[in-house]
Structure 1
Amino acid sequence: MTSLANLRWPEVPRALLAVPLGATEQHGPHLPLDTDTTVAEELARRLAERVPGVVVAPALPYGSSGEHAGFPGTLSIGQEALELVLVELARSADHFAGIVFVNGHGGNLEPLRNAVRLLRAEGRRVFAWAPGGPPDDTHAGRTETSVLLHLRPGDVLPGEPGNTEPLPSLIDRLVSRGVRNVSANGVLGDPTGATATEGEARLEAWTDALVTAVRDWQAG
């Protein structure tokens, strides 16, 4: 894998630039605040290993996380600021053959869609992708806990269930009142039974989907 941060400017190729988008926010009492960033970085790294001509940029560790503001440690730049950051970042990257935003945080989706729409209207080659998951396991539940047990097991504590209602039934309350008002411990899902083996399988499935999506986009 080629990391942009480790290159000197004469070494920078005219390659596809993968930009991991994460967040710094609560992930229940058992997962670290940089969980989303860790996942996005790993997926971008795997993309670069599987698709020739991809360079991985340093991750953006702050996103739109206002719904988690009721928990200490959450740092959010909001939707408007995130959209502006993504637009200006992409505008500065004209040297590259294109940009792939690899997003690890659901709260980033709307500003990311808006940024991509504007950048494409300006004639820039930009693509965005985010992993999916079960609607009743969307935050610090079994999926993310399993992935972190595979990637950083020493940073994972035993987890307890949170609110396991499907996200569509929670979303209005979550947006208007925040995660704290729908889940006292910040978990949307049930991390009980999470395993590192399951986490690796999930990462492989996400990587396959990301690689396929990028190749299809490259093919036009």
Structure 2
Amino acid sequence: MNSAYHRRVAFPNELGISTSRQLQNTPSTQRPGLIVPVGSTEQHGPHLPLDTDTRIATAVSDVLAARLQACEDFSWMVAPAVAYGASGEHEGFSGTISIGTPALAELLVEFARSACRWAARLVFLNGHGGNVAALRDAAALLRYEGRDAAWCSCVARDSDAHAGHTETSVLLHISPEVVRQDELVPGNRAPLTDLMPAMRRGGVAAVSSLGVLGDPTTATAEDGGRIFAEMVDGCVERVRRWTPDREGMLR
């Protein structure tokens, strides 16, 4: 796996579809499902790129689509990623671009309203925790409107919070060339629950001058492969089951 994951500029061609006309001529019984990676553009410490969340969401989406091809009644396509999210807690650091929860929710709603004119089903694949409120709002409205839209997140057990062991390991697995290993420095390793009061007042900068919550110095590509596989397996299970709650989250 490599950095090609984040360079998608068009829908993949697994279905033999590369133009609007080809998709329009697909029989209604063969309409594809659509996976939409949702990431962010935000600081990830001195060692990881601003598009870390987008890279992870896109990489998981690509493997998810391939896995679903073998077990679903219809095929899945992966959309170009939504690369800006709700990242206000990181605005104390240069490079972060946050569009906020209301704007992100509206973007996702309009995206799905349009895509659901030709896609049989749509799932937003989330790579950034700050996007959850927008995903809930958007999916709840879309489902109320009768669209078969839902969302799930790239999660793994025992993950640290931000730019630490978990994300650094996954990047070493999918995009090792972008990890600045000479800049690996431990961040604030306190439990996130202990940090939240200060973060609500002053963002991540209030608890970590590096922008790191966790310890990236322990990261390995081998751990990244295990964590990545866990993320994919969880998403495959939830998408196959397709039991969204009232806010569209897949259980």
Q: CA contact under 8 A between 2:44 and 2:212: conserved in structure 1?
A: yes
> What are the residue-to-residue correspondences of 1:67-216 with 2, within 5 Å?
67-94=89-116, 95-133=118-156, 137-158=160-181, 159-216=184-241
In the aligned structure 2, how far is the partner of 1:25 from the partner of 1:100? 23
Q: CA deviation at 1:18?
A: 0.2
What percentage of residue pairs aligned between the two structures are identical?
49
Q: CA deviation at 1:118?
A: 0.8
TM (norm. structure 1) is 0.94
Please identify the structure whose Cα radius of gyration is greater: 2
In the aligned structure 2, how far is the partner of 1:10 from the partner of 1:131? 33
Q: CA contact under 8 A between 2:156 and 2:231: conserved in structure 1?
A: no
Out of 4, 26, 34, the position equivalent to 2:11 is: 4
Letter in 2 for 1:102: L
Letter in 1 for 2:234: A
Letter in 2 for 1:111: A
Q: CA deviation at 1:135?
A: 6.5
Letter in 1 for 2:80: P
Q: CA contact under 8 A between 1:136 and 1:164: conserved in structure 2?
A: no
Q: 1:127 to 1:136 in 2, by over 3 A?
A: closer
Q: CA contact under 8 A between 1:23 and 1:65: conserved in structure 2?
A: yes
TM (norm. structure 2) is 0.83
1:28 is aligned to 2:51? no
In the aligned structure 2, how far is the partner of 1:129 from the partner of 1:115? 13
1:16 is aligned to 2:39? no
SS at match of 1:139: coil
Structure 1 stretches of 5 or more lacking a match?
Answer: none
Structure 2 stretches of 5 or more lacking a match?
Answer: 1-7, 70-74, 245-249
Deviation string, structure 1 residues 127-175 (Cα, Å, up to 9, x no partner): 1111224677110000000000111111111311111111122223212
SS at match of 1:4: coil
Post-superposition, which runs of at least 4 consecutive aligned residues in structure 1 deviate over 3 A?
133-136
Higher deviation after alignment, 162-171 or 93-102: 162-171
